A and B are shown apart, each in its own frame.
Chain A
């Protein structure tokens, strides 16, 4: 934490220093060239902003378009007759009520299980003794190298034989194990101040009490970070829910909307965009609220 704070205080990026550290001795020519450079940079920044924001604006605005605003060229950027009709229409075109319930249930259950697993596993590897702990940890991390394509066939057969096809258990349980999350939390728990842990131990705190009252509160930022990236992953998960469900009633949102596109005869983009908003909006709001955690967590997650 202190590291991160310190990094913001010290202007480490060399480019910024070069740009701001000109000083009064700078000649006119150089400052004119500097101004041109800054202008170019702002133009580039604006182009980048447009490339990444405009598609999302297009998504939102199109979801309010009537058919005549959609089937027209050049495209209408602002709906002429904004309408909310696409939303109920999309809601009626597919069982979105079910999709929502399924996505919320499987996301919350999956994230909850991953969090519980990650916390207990990390705690055990840091604070509890066990013969061969290092080997077990290697086995844990090695599972990151097994791609889902290797496991989908056998796991489908397992889930089918358990009678879990088209059930929440079938969607949630096979992906409830953690490796990266346990690793992330373990790394954090290793940095906790030893004095605090020792003091708690000497006070006679058992492991469960120490976990709940000492380690967990001290690890909260990491737990939140992992919880958020797990949440994003579960909400967006596509391949596994696609495989273990085959009824409209059990589809999750991402899988459900994909059929909206493939099955529609004439493409009513307004309706499809409205359906897409259903999927995108909750996660976009979570992202805007917890951006710092999510960006940090996911860029560390890339190491996997």
Chain B
């Protein structure tokens, strides 16, 4: 539409006498387009799309990043990894982490959103507080929580002992390290999902609730029969995006546990970093990254396929 207007406008101001100049003028918007998007597309090509292809190739090689020759090994890296119980443990950790984070995000995020949706004094301040950790550095948040988790002098010890529990050695105990990472991740990121749920709740039709009330439905019935079904597209959206984000979690794990103790918090993302930049097994790192990519691609496609429906409720 606008293009036509512009084209017409440029066409009419150009004199008909000089054909060549007119053609050059008509080409000018094209050149300008190239000039405007050129740098960005060059960057995308060099630092996003080319790497995608090149790292697929790397995943088929045996290389340590230093020696001049890469040996082509076909699918050997993938086969070795998928038959290695240690790598299967990594996949298990990734799923464990994703389940914890997604479950917490959906249940607690929705609960927080419903609470903040009530007309209560100070709810805006609380909303500000809930969202604040989202903007903070994950590394800084991890340091703060490392102190809170300190089994002797941390903040959680008195809280736990108040309910008769003794504090585990959170980040140094293979059984407790993952729950610790999940808690920190949730604390930092839940504000985002809360805000998304809140927007969803505020877009629900009030008439339906009035009608349900007239029919004598209590708050629980309203929640199960109205809120939850109507909100399901938003819930699905939160679920998928949280899965996508959780697969890529890095800084909290890096600072809080560094994948340990005894690999208890080594997720696929940490594995890629570890193999790529610590043990320099480039082929394995690249193969791990490819698996991560495929998993994220599947999640994204599911989202594109199903989340479009949420438009109905907006």
Contact = CB atoms under 8 A, between A and B. Distances in A.
Interface stretch (B74-82, B85-93, B95-103, B193-201): B193-201
A93 interface: no
Contacts of B5: 194, 197-198, 201
A255 B122 CA distance: 36
Interface residues of B, number: 108
A173 B47 CA distance: 9
Interface in B132-163: 132-140, 142-148, 150, 152-155, 157-158
A129 B6 CA distance: 9
B2 A41 contact: no
Which applies to chain B's interface (DSSP): helix, strand, loop or mixed?
Answer: helix
A128 B117 contact: no
A149 B155 contact: no
A155 to B, nearest CB: 6
Interface string A120-157: 11011111111101001001100101111111111111
A45 B258 contact: no
Contacts of B120: 38, 41-42, 45
A176 B29 CA distance: 25
B130 interface: yes
B13 interface: yes
Contacts of B58: 153-154
B140 A302 contact: no
Given A16-B118, A153-B276, A279-B140, A120 B36 contact: yes
Contacts of A232: 135
A255 B138 CA distance: 10
B144 A273 contact: yes
Contacts of B202: 7, 12-13
Contacts of A269: 147, 150, 153
B125 A146 contact: no
Contact of B148 (A58, A71, A117, A179): A58
Nearest to A10: B206
A143 B293 CA distance: 12
A128 B288 CA distance: 41
B182 interface: no
A171 interface: no
B241 interface: yes
A12 B47 contact: no
B285 interface: yes
B153 A73 contact: yes
Interface residues of A, number: 113
Contacts, number: 312
Nearest to B301: A145
Contacts of B209: 14-15, 17-18
Nearest to A204: B13
A258 B255 contact: yes
B46 interface: yes
B107 interface: no
Which applies to chain A's interface (DSSP): helix, strand, loop or mixed?
Answer: helix
Interface string A167-203: 0000001111111001000000000001001100110
B213 interface: yes
B153 to A, nearest CB: 6
Contact of A12 (B145, B206, B273): B206
Interface string A30-50: 000000001001101100110
A53 B40 CA distance: 40
A295 interface: yes
B165 interface: no
B289 interface: yes
Given A149-B248, A178-B40, A204-B13, A261 B255 contact: yes
B40 A52 contact: no
B128 to A, nearest CB: 6
A72 B288 CA distance: 44
A141 to B, nearest CB: 11
A44 B115 contact: yes
B106 interface: no
B9 A202 contact: yes
B291 to A, nearest CB: 10
B251 A279 contact: no
Given A72-B153, A149-B293, A238-B250, A55 B144 contact: yes
A287 B158 contact: no
5 contacts: A13-B202, A126-B2, A136-B41, A174-B43, A275-B143
The 6 closest A-B pairs by CB, nearest first: A154-B51, A177-B43, A14-B209, A124-B36, A238-B251, A151-B51
Given A124-B36, A129-B6, A299-B192, 12 more contacts: A13-B117, A48-B112, A71-B153, A117-B43, A129-B7, A129-B29, A136-B37, A151-B51, A243-B277, A258-B251, A267-B150, A272-B143
